[in-house]
Chains A and B, each alone.
Chain A
Amino acid sequence: MNDIVSAKELAPNIKQFEILAPPVATKVRPGHFVVLQTEEEGERIPLTVVDSNPEKGTVTLVFLEIGASTKKLGKLKQGNRILHFVGPLGNPSEIEKFGQVVCVGGGIGAAAIYPIVKALKAAGNRVISIIGARNKDLLIYEEELRKVSDELYVTTDDGSKGRHGFVSDVLKELLEKGIPIDRVIAVGPAVMMKVISNLTKPFRVKTIVSLNPIMVDATGMCGCCRVYVSGETKFACVDGPEFDGHQVDFDNLLARLRTYVEEEKLSHQMLEKGEG
């Protein structure tokens, strides 16, 4: 259990692990996440399940090595075992036949949106996917998404591949063109989800976002992950992580995500110095 069956680098600082976790693999649905911990002294890290193979009993995770904990995770190799692994957590995505759906994945969100696109397609929707990254080297899941989407748009911030600009620029054009869009689903950095939600609001297109607040237990016990949705306090780990983007207080989410910047810096310095 919890063995890393395969480990792959998708892009600089972006890794993909396939992990043996049969109970999770048989249960998991698009939108679910897991929590893992690599060592007794470590943090509990929430990560979205990107794919699963119930026969093999494995689940696939894709993560960005952004701070000390994810960098330590990234140091693990095929054959290593993850100390703690629990899931599936959160509510699965709402998958129905909506009509035409636009799925937006920013950065690492391109991988996280993949199971949702696949399921929406299988449910009979026409799916337009838009993915973006800072530059072409950081683009992930492009081929995978092309296979399961009816249309795929690619953007890079520096123009090194696809459209020069942001994922929101493409969505804006689609909205302005007036093509029928029954739903937008956006997964990525909080700022991106905020921009997308603000963009679709005047067009009255239902927009679902998958929130990524800081979590501890991820079982509804601590309230660390609380967010305002329609002015009410919700726990993202048990009430979400997906919410109606037009009802989310993104500024509060962004502020709460900055709670531990100093501590995160310190942990990172320790790791670089080899003390972590």
Chain B
Amino acid sequence: MAKPDKLIPKQAMPKLSMEERRKTLKEVALGFSEDLALVEASRCLQCAKPKCVEGCPVNIDIPAFIKLIQERKFEEAIEKIKERNALPAMCGRVCPQENLCQKSCVLGIKGEPVAIGALERFAADYELKKEPITPTGSKCNPTGVKVAVVGSGPFGLTAAADLAKQGFDVTIFEALHEPGGVLIYGIPEFRLPKRVVKAEVEYVKSLGVKIQTDVIIGKTYTLDELFQMGYKAVFIGTGAGAPIFLGIPGENLSGIYSANEFLTRVNLMKAYLFPKYATPVKVGRKVAVIGGGNVAFDSARTALRLGAEKVALVYRRTEAEMPARREEVENAKEEGVEFMCLVNPVRFIGDEAGWVKEMECLRMELGEPDESGRRRPIPIKGSEFRIPVDTVIVAIGTRVNPLIQKTAPLLKTDKHGHLVVDDYGRTSMKFVYAGGDITSGTATVIEAMKAGKRTVQAFCEDLQKSE
């Protein structure tokens, strides 16, 4: 076994060549080789009171799985992770580790923390590479209690996996034709390959979970009807999928997309393979992406790969305030995304055929901090200027889609339309639980998963009490 040695520097993640990054949707972060993983794992001090575990929202036993990697017991390492996290190959890729587990790692005080996310991904990929997970069909369930999960994003998949592990008879209802939520329609291939999402969905199915796609709760069935159909409880994880537009003149010109539409066309409908795949997408030569979060970066980097000559990311604050993951900001810079900071669009101008051709913007300056603690952008009078564009992607956020609430008046919502829940995800309706973006607004994959675990605990307690 390798000796803990903090003199070894943190191992860098190997990346795809720049040439391929400009032309293909292949995954950028290539993952650790076995050798790299062993070296990186050897850096972990195996702390007696590991801070990293507290930093992980689902409390993976991090030192334990890293020790198993040190001992080359890769299969046991992934088993250890899966005790707490059903979707490790995805979390290892898209978790904001730098703010979570790695932020709490003691090695980070003086130097670089252990690359926990990359090690988690290594263990998960090892298992995926070894043998494709095949669903084992429905397992017998000791309790015979049927439960329904609405939405197959990270909340729904995690809740379903934990429920199945407890022995419940679980069915997920998903509105779209593919399970995975944002992981399948939003986050692009080059950050989270769809085969990884599919493999983790298969793992959840192998626990006995049934998934019915093409079912919209609130339309195909209402909540009440689910209870009538014999489901004892319903877990709602429908996300916050409705796009927000800027509300400025010209925003409905052709060539202007919401990030959701743009990414859905490319990821879910595979428009990058048009015409083999029937759904098209239009990427012009000059693309402007409005926003500064993960979604804006994913859109900008996708547009580059689909052949745009120039992609400008237009953000109303400065780079320091951008909510996107640092790693992705760096990747985007390397790939040639241009940043236009302290700039805000005020209207779009179209040609005779109704296509967007110019965007009028205002320059901004930063004022006092607002509720979010970030300095508020203030427009500079008379600073209007125009830039030529032929595609615009609006990535300024999403809100809750009210499809379910519309047919379930007893479900309490706050003024933003988020479902109101207690600390454990109990909604205002008995045996109805919720979590993920539908309760919090757009957050993170791992927060949605944590909520999934908590709601299952709450349900188990409620069920025992009611018996």
Contact = CB atoms under 8 A, between A and B. Distances in A.
Interface of A: 23-24, 27, 37, 41-44, 68-69, 83-89, 216-217, 219-224, 226-228, 233, 238, 251-252, 255-256, 258-260, 263-264, 266-267, 270, 276
Contact of B252 (A43, A233, A263): A233
A221 B275 contact: no
Residue of B214, B243, B278 with most chain A CB atoms under a 10 A cut-off:
B278
A119 to B, nearest CB: 19
Contacts of A216: 261, 264-265, 269, 279
A2 to B, nearest CB: 9
A221 B254 contact: no
Given A85-B214, A87-B220, A222-B258, A43 B242 contact: no
A43 B216 contact: no
A222 B252 contact: no
Given A87-B219, A219-B175, A256 B275 contact: no
Contacts of B216: 86, 89, 219
A222 B243 contact: yes
B143 to A, nearest CB: 27
A122 B170 CA distance: 42
Contact of B269 (A43, A227, A264): A43
Nearest to B214: A86
B254 A27 contact: no
B221 A41 contact: no
Contacts of B258: 222-224
Nearest to B175: A219
Nearest to B213: A84
Given A216-B261, A238-B403, A263-B275, A256 B252 contact: yes
B219 A259 contact: no
Classify chain B: how many residues form its interface, as a range: 35 or more
Contacts of A220: 241-242, 401, 403
Residue of A252, A255, A264 with most chain B CB atoms under a 10 A cut-off:
A255
B176 A217 contact: yes
Contacts of A266: 275
B87 to A, nearest CB: 22
A132 to B, nearest CB: 27
Interface in B186-222: 213-216, 219-221
Contact of B275 (A223, A259, A270): A270
Contacts of A223: 242-243, 245, 257-258, 260-261
A248 B264 CA distance: 27
Contact of B279 (A27, A43, A83, A270): A43
B252 A41 contact: no
A219 B254 contact: no
A-B CB proximity, top 6 nearest = A255-B354, A263-B280, A222-B261, A86-B214, A223-B258, A43-B278
Nearest to B261: A222
Nearest to A42: B278
Contacts of A217: 175-176, 264
Interface string B277-305: 11110100000000000000000000000
Contacts of B416: none
B270 A222 contact: no
Contacts of A44: 177, 269, 279
Contact of A252 (B243, B252, B265, B282): B252
26 contacts: A23-B220, A24-B220, A41-B270, A41-B277, A41-B278, A43-B279, A83-B177, A84-B213, A87-B220, A88-B220, A216-B279, A217-B176, A219-B401, A220-B241, A220-B242, A221-B264, A221-B401, A223-B245, A223-B260, A228-B252, A252-B252, A252-B354, A255-B354, A255-B355, A256-B252, A256-B254
B437 interface: no
Contacts of A255: 253-254, 353-355
B276 interface: yes
Contacts of B277: 41
A42 B273 CA distance: 12
B274 interface: yes
Given A84-B214, A260-B280, A267-B280, 17 more contacts: A41-B278, A43-B279, A68-B278, A69-B278, A86-B215, A216-B265, A219-B175, A219-B401, A221-B243, A238-B401, A251-B354, A252-B252, A256-B254, A258-B354, A260-B282, A263-B274, A263-B282
B390 interface: no
Residue of A24, A37, A221 with most chain B CB atoms under a 10 A cut-off:
A221
A238 B243 CA distance: 13
Contacts of B251: 233
Contacts of B252: 226-228, 233, 252, 256
Contacts of B221: 23
A218 to B, nearest CB: 9
Contacts of B220: 23-24, 27, 86-88
A34 to B, nearest CB: 10
A258 B243 contact: no
B255 to A, nearest CB: 8
Contacts of B214: 84-86
Contacts of A85: 214
B275 A224 contact: no
Contacts of B261: 216, 222-224
B252 to A, nearest CB: 6
Contacts of A227: 252
Contacts of B242: 220-221, 223
Contacts of A69: 278
Nearest to B350: A255
Contacts of B353: 255, 258
A85 B275 CA distance: 22
Nearest to A255: B354
B236 to A, nearest CB: 15
B288 to A, nearest CB: 17
